[in-house]
A and B are shown apart, each in its own frame.
Chain A
């Protein structure tokens, strides 16, 4: 069957620069997944007070690593790195023309919160590890751990819940922010829809669930010698988020094809045409349909291998979705300037690969240096151990 906009497959033109590069897609995916990871962490903690699961130990350091590496991308992108954060020190008067806009102020706060809670979980271990250390070492450790020894937000029920609520709000913001940012960007027709933050949200949830499923056993194994799986609810969450992504994507395209103008149709023709590999195969096929199908049978959701395949697909999909939208979106501006088929330049590939390495490096560092200790169940005596966590092999 011939698609409605098939003739647009032959791109018309190649002109005009791109204000936003694939670095923004990487940033969006990493920050979004970090937000999703926090949500999973908070949900589990809220529900079970489980502080001995792999999630409780290894998820938030992973989120912090994602935030660090993720936020490195816009720093690289704007080519004015001092500009991004000097406002924290010097005020926001000069940031009026920044393309990142003011919302960016919350993202570092979210990263700090993740870190604070990550070390809060380990506060007793930190206390123990610092016994007998010099005052200088203890001071440095306090700064690095945001004085969690003195004030542990997880120590009390009320503060624990309050901080979780704040964290959830920041996490949701982190997931939605890059989508809203694109949505409000003038002149790019493909982005101008509320579906963008919505689908960024669902894909981030799927990606977050997938990444936890893939990496938590690895983290716990590398520190404890025990490959503790992530929460068994994660495959289900991944499946639901993938279904949501599938539905949102198809609904969005249907909506755009029905109500969109010619420029949006041209953009969709690129989605169907030169970028169909990225948009349809990597994002839609691999990132949403495959997890939806693999995890459809409840029994398979219990199969670690099948879930791992679905998880990997969802993580790849979360990145592919953003690459597709960022790249295709800019190909057809509202000015009618025409199509610009984008080839990732070598220096961009280098930056992207380095950024993934950077993320993994920070993740490994946190996992390596944080005082998880052995026999964690006993060591972390101040926390409550849920039966559920134990039953899941925590």
Chain B
């Protein structure tokens, strides 16, 4: 019994021990929760859960008795400008005052993009409480761009070979020391390719600012052109800041990314609408719009605004009808009676537009009366709002020294006339059938083909007719894959709405070797109906409030010793025929054509040619390359091929590469140094609104938060502070104590970015105005809402005291915007364009192709896409072997490379996949979800099939922005610690690296040699189904 008793006690004791241990462990582990539960703590009205919980308290407090709204002291509201895409919408950013963390992003109701009838600038901030603006999913997701866990906040230096993924955090001082002074700065990397290399830093290169790049070719400028700034999405005043640095340093090579995007669109527009880079329809009042190569709600400028306008306009009784011409049916809502989709063959928009032009001309459905006015004054006298060169005569005699140019009064034997150049052109006066100076007659003959003063001439209109008549409508239809009847029906519809019909385009039209010509053809449809400046017609926009001059000249570089000049590395805006290379070949009796690489005299920002030109040292090499928001290996067709990446990252080819980036990106991973940059919520920029909104406006982006580490003197690290410190260290003019002149000539200091950007803001805020666009003074409440008192105190010395109130007010409203009711004046738009519109592009006609030596076409037409040396692409890659054409897709959730960190977007669209037309998939036995290889002449990539109906057979599409290898997608090391890559960012397929290179030029993508665009939509491909799993 004793044992039993003993055992009994022991057993019970054992139970008690277990009980004490278990319950004790539970209580210890869960004590907080259990105590909270016992005391009824945390029993709010909603769950504290990111998905199911209640939202934060609102940013405004509502007084139930008076109905008045007041600011919630827990939050501050700051208005800035988005940069999740290039729509540049106004944002209202809700920030927790205690933590300084952004909690929510909404639309800024003062900004035209966010509301149809956006808020007047004079409206107090408090009165906007009930009506914030809208912002799209990308805009909302911007918080995740700023708080990306892969953000870099301190300078990094590679600690291994370029691209090895080994980084060392360094101090700001070390960064500036090394890149300025140069020398054996890579001795510590252990990289055999660079450890013994003597690198020329900023000081060394700046020291050569008076030396020519090539004494035999002085047109190439000075050695300082060896500094190349390759910017991605750097726009407005931020680009201005970089350009000013380039100007002070003495380099012409400061670029943004435009030719990746759609420079041919801008060039084509500028050739038709002189000096303008974009036109847009007055969507809300148009009756019929053709969207070429785009669709509202998917992309275009500004995406959300165009989508909103279109949805609203078509919903109105008797409202907008529109047609989308694009190989891919996006989410533009093309359904019902008000809209239609025409799936065109990629790159044949020009053929379809020319077919429509031919039919319109033959059926005389154009606005003849409008086109007959040869000058703006004649047009205005007749009640028109614009004029064209349709009746202007062009010299077509091939032996005439000025063949291709407009006939001048002197050529016609009419003597020399003064006045504007365009007025000096010659027309055939209507009725009299005699030549006359354009400025001297009210109406002129549209059609003319004959001789004037012994010179064979044709009118611009006749040249267009002849160009259009090179093919029958049926032939055009066969080229573009659209039935003749459909083309005719579309042309009839387009010409059935008077001036309230518009032909609108985006990059789908122009990202082809023939993109420029396609673009011009699409735009000319507008000229035929005479829709410019009319309500419901086309606009070039209301313009913007300039940031450059006014109270201060922020572009000036006082004391600059050396002028930045010379041929740009990209050979843009320069003529091959004027180069020493050309002249030397001619002198040697050689055929100077083709040039080693193409020249782009009509284009600008030919970003894609920078790296291959630098590697090939044509026309010269690069000493220092700076990437800013630039990812050419990811974003440029074909430049992600390994051979090119290897060449570009070889230190012998480019000795020093510095990137400024917010993460270790797909391209910045190959840099020597990475400067931590601010996200768009941490940056400054002044950026004009887009023509779509019709009014004048400039958004002010400013740092509503700052997340990067600070320099020793308390400035947050970023690209601008880097420029400032380099410039001061080198001793460049325009930085330091006497840097920025005001209107009185007084010089102001530039020691921090705000010294410059605040003055640019003053230029915007204090520019002359009227009609309700004046910036009001900021109120006490508004200062409080935006927590701007501290900001003012911090930067008080950067402006004159009298300027602060309006500057802070502009910041508090996110910019300066003309009232929405200033968009129209009855049946005409308020902001009108008055230069002569061009049926005939004289400048194009007088420019030669640097590869073939042949002149470009002055009268646009259908041009078959070809390589640089003229080989048609269908002969380059046999369609029988390569039956598919790749196109890219810009969607509302993902439009470019840099949203991989936006997981809320990835949740909605986690994988892009390869979009395949149902008919193609059925033929090839591919099911939705199958793994398939996309094989091109350049390589292959594997992805998942997305079989769909809304895609033209023969075309495959992919959304850009997936399938990263950098930007947090793969592992790397910082200071010996491994940073794990994220599968989310790797997911998907990216086909840019296997896109078609031009076989005629080393490592050049297919290019539009006229407009300068790189080609995205002409790579042929085939699909191979994956038959086994790896």
Q: Which residues of A contact B (CB under 8 A)?
A: 6-17, 19, 69, 72, 75-76, 78-86, 89-90, 94, 97-99, 221-223, 225, 262, 335-338, 350-351, 354-355, 357-365, 367-368, 374
Indicate if the CB atoms of A19 and B903 lie closer than 8 Å. no
Residues of A within 8 Å of B725, CB to CB, are none
| Given A335-B907, A338-B910, A364:B18 Cβ within 8 A | yes
Interface-forming stretch among B30-38, B289-297, B459-467, B697-705?
A: B30-38
| Given A82-B41, A360-B22, A368:B15 Cβ within 8 A | yes
What class of interface size applies to chain B in its complex with A?
35 or more
Contacts A6-B1029, A19-B52 known; 8 new A-B pairs at CB < 8 A = A7-B931, A11-B983, A16-B907, A17-B51, A90-B40, A335-B908, A361-B23, A364-B17
Nearest-CB distance from A211 to chain B (Å)? 16
Query: In the bound complex, what is the Cα–Cα distance between A336 and B14 (angstroms)?
Result: 53
Number of A-B contacts (CB under 8 A): 172
Residues of B within 8 Å of A75, CB to CB, are 30, 33-34, 37
| Given A76-B33, A335-B907, A223:B44 Cβ within 8 A | no
Indicate if the CB atoms of B26 and A222 lie closer than 8 Å. no
Indicate if the CB atoms of B49 and A16 lie closer than 8 Å. no
Q: Mark B893-930, 1 if CB is under 8 A from A, else 0.
A: 00000000001001110110000000000000000111
Listed by A's residue number, 20 A-B pairs whose Cβ atoms lie within 8 Å are A13-B987, A14-B983, A72-B26, A75-B34, A78-B47, A78-B49, A81-B41, A81-B42, A82-B40, A82-B41, A83-B42, A222-B11, A223-B15, A337-B908, A338-B906, A338-B911, A350-B29, A351-B30, A358-B22, A358-B29
Please tell me which one of the listed residues A83, A225, A368 contacts residue B44 in the complex, with CB atoms under 8 A apart.
A83
Indicate if the CB atoms of A15 and B22 lie closer than 8 Å. no
Residues of A within 8 Å of B29, CB to CB, are 350-351, 354, 358
Indicate if the CB atoms of B26 and A7 lie closer than 8 Å. no
Residues of B within 8 Å of A86, CB to CB, are 40, 43
Residues of B within 8 Å of A81, CB to CB, are 33-34, 36-37, 41-42
| B25 lies within 8 A of chain A by Cβ | yes
| Given A83-B47, A99-B49, A368-B12, A361:B1029 Cβ within 8 A | no
Residues of B within 8 Å of A350, CB to CB, are 29
Query: In the bound complex, what is the Cα–Cα distance between A69 and B22 (angstroms)?
Result: 11
Residues of B within 8 Å of A80, CB to CB, are 42-44, 47-48
Q: Which residue of B lies closest to A9 (CB)?
A: B1029
| Given A81-B42, A97-B46, A337-B907, A357:B30 Cβ within 8 A | no
Residues of A within 8 Å of B34, CB to CB, are 72, 75, 81
Indicate if the CB atoms of A82 and B49 lie closer than 8 Å. no
Indicate if the CB atoms of B48 and A79 lie closer than 8 Å. yes
Indicate if the CB atoms of A83 and B43 lie closer than 8 Å. yes
| Given A6-B1029, A364-B18, A97:B52 Cβ within 8 A | yes
Residues of A within 8 Å of B46, CB to CB, are 97
Indicate if the CB atoms of B42 and A82 lie closer than 8 Å. yes
Residues of B within 8 Å of A222, CB to CB, are 11-12, 14-15
Indicate if the CB atoms of B26 and A82 lie closer than 8 Å. no
Query: In the bound complex, what is the Cα–Cα distance between A87 and B806 (angstroms)?
Result: 53
| Given A81-B42, A338-B911, A13:B23 Cβ within 8 A | no
| B4 lies within 8 A of chain A by Cβ | yes
Indicate if the CB atoms of B22 and A359 lie closer than 8 Å. yes
Query: In the bound complex, what is the Cα–Cα distance between A8 and B931 (angstroms)?
Result: 10
- Pick the 6 closest A-B CB pairs, nearest first: A361-B22, A358-B26, A13-B910, A81-B37, A82-B43, A338-B910
| Given A223-B11, A335-B907, A361:B44 Cβ within 8 A | no
Residues of B within 8 Å of A362, CB to CB, are 19, 22-23
Indicate if the CB atoms of A361 and B911 lie closer than 8 Å. no
Indicate if the CB atoms of B984 and A14 lie closer than 8 Å. yes
| Given A97-B54, A338-B910, A19:B7 Cβ within 8 A | no
Indicate if the CB atoms of B11 and A72 lie closer than 8 Å. no
| Given A14-B984, A98-B47, A99-B49, A82:B37 Cβ within 8 A | yes
Q: Which residue of B lies closest to A337 (CB)?
A: B907
Q: Which residue of B lies closest to A13 (CB)?
A: B910
| B944 lies within 8 A of chain A by Cβ | yes
Query: In the bound complex, what is the Cα–Cα distance between A336 and B907 (angstroms)?
Result: 8
Residues of B within 8 Å of A97, CB to CB, are 45-47, 52-54
Most B-side CB within 10 Å, residue of A82, A89, A358: A82
Indicate if the CB atoms of B931 and A13 lie closer than 8 Å. no
Query: In the bound complex, what is the Cα–Cα distance between A164 and B910 (angstroms)?
Result: 52
Query: In the bound complex, what is the Cα–Cα distance between A17 and B42 (angstroms)?
Result: 22
Nearest-CB distance from B385 to chain A (Å)? 49
| B50 lies within 8 A of chain A by Cβ | yes
Query: In the bound complex, what is the Cα–Cα distance between A363 and B26 (angstroms)?
Result: 13
Q: B980-1030: which residues lie under 8 A (CB-CB) from chain A?
A: 982-984, 987, 1029
| B8 lies within 8 A of chain A by Cβ | yes
Residues of B within 8 Å of A364, CB to CB, are 15-19, 22
